[in-house]
Amino acid sequence: MTNNYELYKVFYWAAKTGSLTQAAKALYITQPSVSHAIKQLEDSFGITLFYRNSKGVALTQEGNLLYSYIEQSHILISLAEEKMAALKNLDSGELRIGGSDSLFKHYMLPYLEDFNRKHSGIRLHLNHGTTPEVISFLKEGKIDLGVVRMPIVDPQLEVRESIQLQDCFVAGARYAELKETVLSLEMLLQHHLILFSRNSRARMAITELFQNYGYTLKPEIEVGSVDLLIEFAKRGLGISYVTREFVKKELEEGSLFEIKLDVQLPPSQVGIMIMRNMPLSITAARFIEYFEKFPLRIDSKKS
């Protein structure tokens, strides 16, 4: 038996063309090389695969059986080569990204829209979750890259800094008396606060800030959606902690206003996260290249 696939390639072309000369031309080798390869294959099986006729060569019964398998293999290899070319040219493939609903909606959507328009053959798979969940998605191989809030300290991960965001507290008309007031953290805690879920990076950051000042943050309402944070604040259910860039429209139209504090809330950084020392798919690598070519932006018109 042989595992020399070059011999099978010679066999395929000799059987397909019915000519040792034509097989040699197709493979850019000499006719004696074709004859030698076929003899090697026949010797390895102990079976005659061809017999000569007036037109060249023809398959024996055993040769026909072998050809039926080799032909299928050749077709599959050709399809695989076509698939690899399509992937390289971004004519097909998939892009798997993890991130929060808010970052997809307000930040990534324009990039995904442009990328999809230019490469419509690429299937997009978006996995929604908090930063810890997105990290798990990446380590489990469920996504190619993650869009997350920093800092991320993990030796298995590589994070490329992207844009800076600023979180703030906002309220609706029900809290109009606070518009011109500068609140301390203690005064703020006297009001109903609405925060994102405990596993979110933004929630962790604001909880840590309050702890540094000696306060315990106890929200009246916890939600799992930035849209709900915005809507609840507009309806007067409390004061929400949100990303300023994500409520730009509401702040401009006056349905929300920013609560002024006597302390500075720290900004947060968004990053693109990938596995360290792990090769990216062609699609993921091209998307990151595309992503880094364009100015950073926030789609604040989305609400």
Measured between alpha carbons, how far is 151 from 173 in angstroms, rounded to an integer?
A: 34
Q: Output the DSSP codes for 75-143.
A: HHHHHHHHHHHHHHTTSSEEEEEEE-HHHIIIIIHHHHHHHHHH-TTEEEEEEE--HHHHHHHHHTTS-
Write the class of the CATH domain 93-164+269-293: alpha beta
Q: Which two tokens stand for residue 45?
A: 């099986």
Beta bridge partners of 221: 194
What residue type is assigned to position 169 of the chain? Answer: F
Q: Does the bond joining 151 to the residue before it have cis omega, within 30 degrees of 0?
A: yes
Residues of the chain with CATH 1.10.10.10: 5-88
- Name the CATH superfamily for 167-266: Periplasmic binding protein-like II (3.40.190.10)
pLDDT tens string, the chain, 303 residues long: the values are 556 889 999 999 999 999 999 999 999 999 999 999 999 999 999 999 999 998 899 999 999 999 999 999 888 888 788 777 777 778 888 999 999 888 998 888 888 998 889 888 899 999 998 888 999 999 999 999 999 988 888 999 999 888 889 999 999 999 999 999 999 999 999 999 999 887 788 888 999 999 999 999 999 999 988 899 999 999 999 999 999 999 999 999 999 999 999 999 989 889 899 999 888 888 998 888 887 776 555 554 443
Residues of the chain with CATH 3.40.190.10: 93-164+269-293, 167-266
pTM over 0.85: no
Task: Look at residues 151, 157, 83, 150 and name the one whose alpha carbon lies nearest to residue 121.
Answer: 83
Answer for the pair 166, 195: CB distance below 8 angstroms, yes or no.
no
Task: Look at residues 148, 150, 154, 169 and name the one whose alpha carbon lies nearest to residue 258.
Answer: 169
Q: Which two tokens stand for residue 230?
A: 């915005």
Which residues contact residue 118 at a Cβ distance below 8 angstroms, ignoring those fewer than 6 apart?
none
Q: Which two tokens stand for residue 101?
A: 């609903």
Helix pair angle (282-293, 61-88), 10° resolution: 20
Answer for the pair 156, 276: CB distance below 8 angstroms, yes or no.
yes
Fold for the domain defined by 5-88: Arc Repressor Mutant, subunit A (1.10.10)
